[in-house]
Amino acid sequence: MIGGMSPHLLVVALSLLAYLIGSLSGSLLLGRFRGVDIRRHGSGNAGGTNAFRTLGWKFALGVALIDIGKGALATWLALRFARADASPSVAMVAYLAAFAAVVGHVWPVWHGFRGGKGAATAVGGLLLLWPWSVPVLLLAWLLVLTGTGYVGLSTVIAGACLPLLAWWGDAAPERMAFAIAIALFLVFTHRGNLQRLRDGNESRFERVRIWRRMFARP
């Protein structure tokens, strides 16, 4: 059936499928097994950070694996079924699918359009499309997190590194477009964190601020 579609209809179908896969929220699916809707606890967000704060690291790890996995699955399906002999290119279709999965995570049709913030799902797509960027982003995220204790700020800054990596690596247009789109989208989904940071009431993980302890005066 997929093979018989026109190229542009196939792009729409793969993007829609990616959105639906992205709409499967890890925290909400796992929460059902525990009788918990994580959106009613903590910050009210369905992402991994709130999962960690409210239900612990084991639950948060499961959430992260699902959210990363669905981004990778949506991207893999696009790479597998996009037509190499048609326009847009396979790479473009795959990047579109990866972004659609992120959109699905943030506004999940299965969960009342109230989801997470999209970072883990974006990582899933990057693992297939741009794997060497992931350890660089993880390093940037860890440096900011251990310096400030702010998860939201760490995620936004790590996302901002994507366009820089694309520019430094002389990336193809579709990769550059994806990098810019994800960086801007993460700023949008973390706008509440950034506002609370400006207001001075953003939550922080004090225990991970190792730089402060290392360089603190005795």
Tell me, what's the pLDDT at 122?
Answer: 98
Extents of the domains making up the chain = 1-129, 131-218
Q: Which residues touch 105 (CB under 8 Å, ≥6 apart)?
A: 22, 23, 25, 67, 70, 71, 115, 116, 118, 120, 121
Tell me, what's the pLDDT at 152?
Answer: 93
pLDDT band at 54 (very low <50, low <70, confident <90, very high): confident
What's the rounded mean pLDDT across residues 111-123?
92
Contact 164, 158 (CB under 8 A): no
What's the rounded mean pLDDT across residues 63-77?
96
Cα–Cα dist 66/101, whole Å: 12
Tell me, what's the pLDDT at 180?
Answer: 98
Q: Bigger pLDDT: 84 or 79?
A: 79
Tell me, what's the pLDDT at 58?
Answer: 86
Tell me, what's the pLDDT at 205?
Answer: 83
* CA–CA–CA angle 59, 61, 62 (5° rounding): 65
Tell me, what's the pLDDT at 25?
Answer: 86
Residue-averaged pLDDT of the chain: 89
Q: Bigger pLDDT: 72 or 5?
A: 72
pLDDT band at 44 (very low <50, low <70, confident <90, very high): low
- Phi, psi at residue 131, to the nearest 5°? -60, -35
Q: How far from the centroid of its chain's Cα atoms is residue 218's Cα? A: 40
Q: What is the pTM of this model?
A: 0.90
- The region of weakest confidence among 64-73, 124-133, 205-214 is 205-214
- The region of weakest confidence among 178-182, 192-196, 207-211 is 207-211
How many other CB atoms are there within 10 angstroms of residue 29's CB atom?
14
Using a pLDDT cut of 70, give the percent of the chain over it. 93
What's the rounded mean pLDDT across residues 3-13?
81
- Is the model's pLDDT at 1 over the cut of 70? no
**pLDDT tens digits for 13-39?**
999 999 999 999 887 888 777 777 777
